[in-house]
Structure 1
Amino acid sequence: MPLTPTHNYFLQGDHVWVDPQTGSEFNVEIGARVVATQTGQIILTDDNEQELKFPIQTKFRLMHITSIEGVDDMILLGDLKESAILHNLHMRYKQNHIYTYTGSILVAVNPYKLLNIYNIENIRQYSNKKIGELPPHIFSIGDNAYWSMQRYQHDQCIIISGESGSGKTESTKLILQFLAATSGQHSWIEQQILDANPILEAFGNAKTVRNDNSSRFGKYIDIHFDKRGTIEGAKIEQYLLEKSRIVSQARDERNYHVFYCLLSGMSKEEKKSLDLTAASDYVYLNQLDGTIYCDSRDDAKEWSIIKSACKVLMFSDEELHDIFRLLAAILHLGNLKFEATTTQNMDTCVVSNTNILRIISRLLKLDEHGLSEGLSKRTLLAHGEAVITPLTQEQAFDIRDAFVKGIYGKMFIWIVDKINSTIYKPKEAAAYRKR
């Protein structure tokens, strides 16, 4: 493809490419429009509505007509390069067109606001349509995968990838919503699959500086269909849960949603039974650089949604109570303090707030003395004999944090397994899968 020639004579309204300015975030050309030509200089307005002035003899490359008008499918761009792709996405984004094709690939730009393009009418509109028949939409990707599965009788796979905050979690939910609606008559298993999302988000998502609902784990979802194309089950695999977040968070970030929902949504009586108070009282939730607030979330309301979803996924009252006990124990463990001491010329430590230790041992159903010993001493086996070594204060804090991460990690795995035990019903008659 020949490059568009450069010129140094332009008319008002011409669209051109401008070299990146010093200090710009991206080292790519930016689109601009000629506003005026005056004696000795040319005045432009760039894509960000910033005014730029250049000497009249400056040479610019004219923009191809496809970049000026914008395209639904970026394969059609006349000057297919990074700057043209970014310009096209930017122009469409400003018009609330957040979806753009690149062949069979869909590029989605997170609008960070609600758009009325995901209702049942939109689902019907995109059902049984080829990619390109209608404006770009995530429902088109779901529909293409579904009908390819039906037509070719092969498993289909949809890969959703992107930066943190790009909308992967929401895109996954929208794909599931579309498949549940388009695969036949509504069934209980479809509702259970959809209700797995708020549970997984509560335990696996958190506020970060870039995203108020950032997934801190990876997931792989198998959706099983019968020969008629009706959803009959699903299986979720989780991996790489960010366990370090449980004990420490970066500036302006939060711990996992479930802790704040628990403390905001529980009744006074429920919190009293677990010796819980406010989020600001717990070290794991109220650290120096972190925050307990998230303006875009209603933690109390989310708590009701989580509990309702757990009922749909067949969590028993006893199982829910056990989860609440573990969450409360984690919060109390974060407040456990160790006092440095010296024993036989060795640096040792002891638990200084035994009242907190008593609460933790009750919640974990562990012997109080055994728990204290386990957190302040290390036991090694040497030649078949147990050698007990006291820990320093710093080591005890590290052991406590490792213990907490282990509890939460195992609990998360159990929750995913519990969800799978409800929604995963393998049958010999199973026909296809959508991954």
Structure 2
Amino acid sequence: MLLQFITTLSGGESCIGKRILESNPIMEAFGNAKTVRNDNSSRFGKYVDIHFDQESGHIVSARIEQYLLEKSRIVRQAVGERNYHAFYCMLAGMPLRDKRRLGLKDARCYNYLCQGKDTLIDSPNDVTHFENIVSTMRYLEFTDHQIDEIWHLLAALLHLGNISFCEILKESADASKVKDTHRSELRYASNLLGMSHTCLEKAMTTRRIQMAGECVVAQFLPANACTVRDAFVKTIYDHLFCWIVEKINAAIYKPPLGVNPPLDPSAGPGRLSIGVLDIFGFENFVSNSFEQLCINYANENIQQYFVRHIFKLEQDEYLTEGINWTHIRFRDNHEVLDLIAHQPLNVLALVDEESRFPRGSDESFLNKLNARHSTTPNFIRALSSRFGIVHFAGPVFYNVEGFLEKNRDTFNHDLLEVINTSKNDFLRKLFEKRLHSADNRSRSLTLGMQFKKSLERLMSIINGCHPFFVRCIKPNEFKLPNCFDRNLCVRQLRYSGMMETIQIRSLGYPIRYEFPDFVQRFHMILLLHSSTTYRFSQLHRSNFQNLVMEICRAAFGPEDLTYAIGSTKVFLRVSHCFCAIDLCIRWAFGAPRYFARFCKCVLWPHFLHISIVTWRLSDGFLKLILMHF
């Protein structure tokens, strides 16, 4: 809705605005999923940087950055939830002949799609959604061949998910192989991926290790083989998602003249930009795992950013400017961030440490966590296989089962070599950077470290922006229309800091101008109220602070305490800003006796020759006044 408003307001004949909007169905198909709280929940962070021409105000370019895709959802979903929409749309909307060619059946036939016991969704209709995805892909310059390759890869991932392994004895050692009943799934997957089914099976069930200059083949048990298979699927989907985002960027990003890099993220000379961040919200389910810890860590960072700008910087500025101000207390969540990721032996560091040990387990991680943080503020020691953290939104208990497996995000190097030999050009294109990296065998980052680095990159970008916050309040827990849960809404308002925000906004001064800007914008009030005739050139040479005081007295009265003048800025309440603007507009439309003074003091020095001072108050003249504002 916000993007639609911005693109509509921008106007112009450029198709970039429409392309930005048309990218949404694609991004939602591959990055959104049904959860117990939301039928169309974003499972990744999206930052849309929209570039405007500085002169015309029209949208001239844009770029999408994606962060923190929830990869685990591809292979595992909770009860009542679904995988990413794209899988269900493909199975519901693809023509029957194409489905037969790819060996596809109903969604209930696939392990990756039916774990949540819910393959249906009320809205949108998956068939209609599929047609919409294909049409928008074509509009955004995806070729038909590329679109087909995307569906081929998704089909291959579904077939891989249906492969199970059984234990065998091989050379007097325990090993595993693909079950005979699942050989057809292996053949479909390997054919779609353009690789030998024998090589694919070998890469999922064994691992080559270099020891003392010799290559030793380690055999996987069925459980380990399933882990490798899932990591393979998650990695392919993650690379596919990144490629789709870059393909969209190629259609919406237009570099400024003279800028060579094809996708320079900066707006460039002669451009202004507005960034819109859409990221998953705080999560607290009946059972919370490593994904919820990462998501809630991201939300703690966003909350800290909010606290810093609304409370810390705001009140610090009042003190710096010498404004008379009574400090408002607020809840700072920096201790929670320290616990999760900042202090020595934090939660993510302990997960990483235990993940590096071959014999590390979820239980040993929990024991270390309890031993290290039993007295740490905001940490809750719980029974069995759980621990709790008191987040800004309330306490959340995490089940450590599967923590280390998810964090390791194991991607067998042998699978990368199989990809390198694949006959599928599109698949090799997705892994092009990884295949040509200097050292493919170097230790890859754990999922926690990937998440942390990605989040740091996001925070670095938004820290360079002037923020405006949109708080979304959920009216009820049941996704029902016309149902308002008062207690739930009040609870959300309290934990998000909105109560304190309302207080600081009602007592504070949300609108501020530096003295020169304030004088330039509102100096006409002096012409309305003062007997002194000011030329605009004189205003620039005058004492700005005195002029600001004179304007404020004229507009609001000498004893009004609801505006404040600091050492370099003037601070206004919202109502006072509108009052000042209203005075200027009434002056512009006001009595003819001010017209001569306006022409003499404002228009003449800047815009008009003496011969056209006799213009009447026409539409063109009004437009000139608005431009002057």
| TM-score scaled by length of structure 1 | 0.59
Q: CA deviation at 1:270?
A: 1.0
1:374 matched residue in structure 2: 203
Question: Structure 2 vs 1, CA of residues 356 and 432 (structure 1 numbering), >3 Å: closer, same or farther?
Answer: same
1:388 to 217, 222, 225: 217
Residues 244-271 of structure 1: per-residue CA shift (max 9 Å, x gap): 0000101100000000000000010111
- Give the deviation of 1:185 after TM superposition: 2.4
Change (3 A) 1:383 1:424: farther
Matches within 5 A, 1:71-90: none
Residue 397 of structure 1 aligns with which residue? 226
The equivalent of 2:25 in structure 1 is: 198
| Equivalent position amino acid for 1:293 in 2 | L
Distance 2:147 2:270 in 1: 32
1:266 alignment partner in structure 2 = 94
Gaps of 5+ in 1: 1-173
Are the structure 2 counterparts of residues 430 and 273 from structure 1 closer, same or farther at C-alpha, using a change threshold of 3 Å? farther
One-letter identity of the residue aligned with 1:218: G
**CA apart distance, 1:360:** 0.7
Distance in 2, matches of 1:180 and 1:189, equals 9
- The correspondence for 1:313, drawn from 140, 143, 159, is 140
Q: Alignment partner of 1:236: what SS?
A: strand
Contact 1:243 1:409 in 2 (8 A): yes
Distance 1:419 1:383 in 2: 47
Alignment deviations for residues 151-208 of structure 1 (CA, whole Å, 9 cap, x no partner): xxxxxxxxxxxxxxxxxxxxxxx11111111112243221111111110000000000
Counterpart in the other structure of 1:210: 37
2:188 is paired with a residue of what secondary structure? helix
Q: Distance in 1 between matches of 2:155 and 2:60?
A: 36
**In structure 2, C-alpha distance between the alignment counterparts of 1:373 and 1:430, rounded to whole Å:** 56
Aligned match of 2:303: none
Deviation at residue 299 of structure 1 after TM alignment: 0.4
Q: Within 5 A, what are the aligned runs for 1:278-317?
A: 278-287=106-115, 289-317=116-144
SS at 1:270's partner residue? helix
2:3 alignment partner in structure 1? 176
Conserved? CA contact 2:12–2:59, under 8 Å: no
- One-letter code aligned to 1:331: L
**2:187 counterpart of 1:358:** yes
User: Aligned partners of 1:421, 1:396: CA distance in 2, in Å?
Assistant: 38
Distance (whole Å) between structure 1 residues aligned to residue 6 and residue 223 of structure 2: 51
Report the number of matched residues: 261
Q: Which has the larger radius of gyration?
A: 2
The answer to whether 1:431 aligns with 2:259 is: no
CA distance in 1, matches of 2:44, 2:13: 29
Note the C-alpha offset of 1:232. 0.8
Equivalent position amino acid for 1:422 in 2: A
Q: After superposition, what is the alpha-carbon deviation per residue over 1:86-144, rounded to whole angstroms, capped at 9, x for unaligned?
A: xxxxxxxxxxxxxxxxxxxxxxxxxxxxxxxxxxxxxxxxxxxxxxxxxxxxxxxxxxx
Answer whether contact 1:180 1:186 (CA < 8 A) is retained: no
Matched with 1:115 is: none
1:224 aligns with 2:64: no
Letter matched to residue 211 of structure 2: A
Q: Secondary structure at the match of 2:238?
A: helix
Q: Partner of 1:378: helix, strand, or coil?
A: strand
- The answer for the alignment partner of 1:415 in structure 2 is 244
- Contact 1:271-1:277 within 8 A present in 2 as well: yes
Matches within 5 A, 1:34-45: none
Give the CA deviation at 1:397: 0.5
Partner of 2:77: 249
Cα deviations by residue, 1:281-332 (Å, 9 ceiling, x for unpaired): 1010012x43101112200000011111101110011111111111000100
User: Equivalents in 2 of 1:430, 1:255: separation in Å?
Assistant: 43
Tell me how far apart the structure 2 counterparts of residues 364 and 253 of structure 1 sit (CA, whole Å). Answer: 28
> Judging changes above 3 Å, is the alpha-carbon distance between structure 1 residues 424 and 369 closer, same or farther for their aligned structure 2 residues?
same
Q: Distance in 1 between the 2:60 and 2:215 partners?
A: 52
| Number of the residue aligned with 1:235 | 63
Please give the secondary structure, in 2, of the residue aligned with 1:305. helix
CA distance in structure 1 between the aligned counterparts of 2:48 and 2:41, rounded to whole angstroms: 18
Q: Give the distance between the partners of 1:381 and 1:259, measured in 2 at CA.
A: 38
What is the aligned partner in structure 2 of residue 322 from structure 1?
149
| 2:72 and 2:234 in contact (8 A); partners too | yes
Contact conserved, 1:224 with 1:430, CA < 8 A, in 2? no
CA distance in 1, matches of 2:144, 2:211: 44
Per-residue CA deviation, residues 187-233 of structure 1 (Å, 9 max, x unaligned), is 32211111111100000000000000000000111001112110011
* Kept in 2: contact 1:233–1:425 (CA 8 A): yes
Identical-residue share of aligned pairs (%): 48
Instruction: Name which of structure 1's ranges 405-414 and 340-349 shifts more when overlaid on structure 2.
Output: 340-349
Instruction: Return the alpha-carbon distance in structure 1 between the equivalents of residues 246 and 213 of structure 2.
Output: 36
- Give how far 1:431 is off: 1.3
Distance 1:392 1:177, change over 3 A: same
Q: Is the 8 A contact 2:52 2:59 kept in 1?
A: yes
SS at match of 1:408: helix
Q: Could you tell me which of 83, 91, 104 is aligned with 1:276? A: 104
Structure showing the higher helix proportion among its residues: 2
Compute the TM-score of the two structures, normalised by the length of structure 2.
0.41
Partner-residue secondary structure (3-state), 2:186 = helix
User: What is aligned with 1:34?
Assistant: none
Contact 2:89 2:127 in 1 (8 A): yes
Asked whether the equivalents of residues 249 and 290 of structure 1 are also in contact (C-alpha less than 8 Å), the reply is: no
Write the letter of the residue equivalent to 1:261: C
Question: How big is the shift at 1:367?
Answer: 1.3
Segments of 5+ residues of structure 2 without an aligned counterpart are 258-268, 276-629
Q: In the TM superposition, what is the alpha-carbon distance from 1:347 to its structure 2 partner?
A: 1.6
Determine helix, strand or coil for the equivalent of 1:388. Answer: strand
- Structure 1 vs Structure 2 CA RMSD: 1.2
**3-state SS, counterpart of residue 225 of structure 1:** strand
Distance 1:223 1:388 in 2: 51
